Chain A
Amino acid sequence: MLVKVARDTWLVFQRALGQTLRTPILIVVTLGQPLVFLFLFGPLLKNSLRGIAPSEVFTIYIPGLMVQLVLFGSLAVGFSLTAELNRGVIERFLVTPVSRFSLLLGRTLRDAVILVVPSSLIVVLSIPFGLHVRPAGLIAMLGIMVLLILALAPVSYGLALALKRDEVLGPLFNMVTVPLLLLSGILIPMSYAPGWLRAASWVNPVTEVVNGGRQLFAGHLWNGTVALAVILAAALAAVTLTLVGRLFLRAAR
């Protein structure tokens, strides 16, 4: 049974990856947003954050930017599913013996692969700007990013399955991602926030992931903050994959 799920997941992954690679514009767009933030906001941040050494600003900012990329990238994947739903592709696969869960996991793994690339690119491009990070720290951060994608992409797919229409998905997507972004300390560390806003950020799981990332980039490979980030992301992934996996089971019924 598990062998079948693994095999089917691999097939779905292959097909999904092929589709994305044939649409280069998607990759360009995925890369575009963080690059814009990097080049247009980064320098601004460097000058405006008093009390932090300029060389340390990027250690604080880049992990946040990576999470931002993953956040927006993962929650936008639902659109590709609505397209396939409307074209009858999902229905075609549901009639076959393919594992329903693999239809979700295969796509999500594709998303993880696709989003890891621009994430790494941001780091590489920031090094000339003065970013220092140990390779082990970077790899660990990418690992957490993968977990975060596994946690968030299913949410987008679940919404796509439930709503089935692009027009509703778009505004809903914005409604979810913008507060998550603002409350996560990605743009500006939450230590600058008033008490009530900081409290709100604690409830946001993205905040913990960003904090964990910042620790990794500061050179701490394992401490309480990093552990929390890993556990939270993994737990979230387990929850969303299970819940949305059940939605796929009932998809066409």
Chain B
Amino acid sequence: MIETVGLGKTFQGRRGRVDAVHGVDLAVRAGEIFGLIGPNGAGKTTTLRMLATLLAPSSGRASVAGADLFREPHEVRRRIGYVGQSGGTDPLMTARQELVIQGRVYGMNKADAMARAAASIGVFELGDFADRPSGTYSGGQRRRLDLALGLIHGPRLVLLDEPTTGLDPLSRAHLWDWVRRLRDEGTTVLMTTHYLDEADSLSDRVAIIDHGRIVAHGTPGELKRQIAGDVVLVGAVGGDPAVIRRLLVGQPYVREAEETTKPEVTRLYVQDGEESMAQILKLLDSNGFRLKSISLTSPSLDDVFLRQTGRSLRDAAG
């Protein structure tokens, strides 16, 4: 549904050229939810906007929904839906009014547009307030309207830019359901996000982008399995943190260790978390250190990101 080869975008800034996106190779299959994850400034939105024909790429090739991005941007626009971060509705207009105009812009006559608008209002549950000005809507309601607008013409592919940023947890969960329903009905979804839980739970496949380049891609499961084993977070006090860390790293069951933002907490990559925990407890005790905290997790996408880039996405996302 989407295929890019070497897609790139360079901006001419006042301080010189900025390579916002470089050498991006993406392959999004029909009918899947594809997540593009990365911290703010990584180039996710730039990439998405290029695919939506909003930004002219500086390099590379791309085919979007079967149309060539460079030679047939008009055709791409006909076939895709796009929901940007800032939505884009007039606070004085009602949902129905905006939906009807949107439908007509995509070529429907007035009757069809009104019918589709009514259907969208039903699907996205805008019924209670569809005829009130959108300035009166809550954040979640407005986001649903944004989605409805992007999908009014029933595109096969929809591009979502950070769809749940700024939403309360309940609205987020609802939006996730809608995105899943979209996929179940056969629509392909490419979405950007800096929320790992969102990427993990929604996406069939993901790509991690950092500083404008793809650093990893695959299913969430595949990526996490690359970090074989478990992650143990150990907080130990009663001595020099560096000494404690050296002691832990020296253990045979520890593959790798990393500092965390808290000086007394170390992140250990081990083979078997449960067994290692017991041994760590004994180790610290016999060396006169006190265990402050210990926790065991399976690797997350944050760990994948950390492994690939040396930074934690949670910290980088700020």
Contact = CB atoms under 8 A, between A and B. Distances in A.
Interface of A: 8, 11, 14-15, 18-19, 22-23, 84, 86-98, 252-253
A19 B135 CA distance: 13
Given A14-B101, A89-B90, 5 more contacts: A8-B105, A86-B86, A87-B88, A89-B88, A89-B89
Contacts of A97: 74, 77-78, 105-107
| Interface SS, B side | loop
B278 interface: no
Nearest to A21: B92
User: Which of A86, A88, A90, A92 is most buried by chain B, counting CB atoms within 10 A of its CB?
Assistant: A92
Among B92, B106, B149, max chain A CB count under 10 A is at B92
Interface of B: 49, 52-56, 74, 77-78, 80, 82, 84-90, 92-93, 97, 101-102, 104-107, 149
A96 B97 contact: no
Contacts of A98: 105
A31 to B, nearest CB: 20
B192 to A, nearest CB: 15
Interface centre among B80, B85, B90, B97 (most CB of A within 10 A): B90
Contacts of A93: 88, 105
B53 A95 contact: yes
Contacts of B86: 86-88, 91
B176 to A, nearest CB: 22
- Give the 10 A-B CB pairs with smallest separation, nearest first: A88-B86, A88-B88, A92-B88, A252-B54, A95-B82, A253-B56, A22-B92, A89-B88, A97-B77, A98-B105
Contacts of A22: 92-93
Nearest to B98: A15
A92 B106 contact: no
Given A8-B105, A89-B88, A95 B149 contact: no
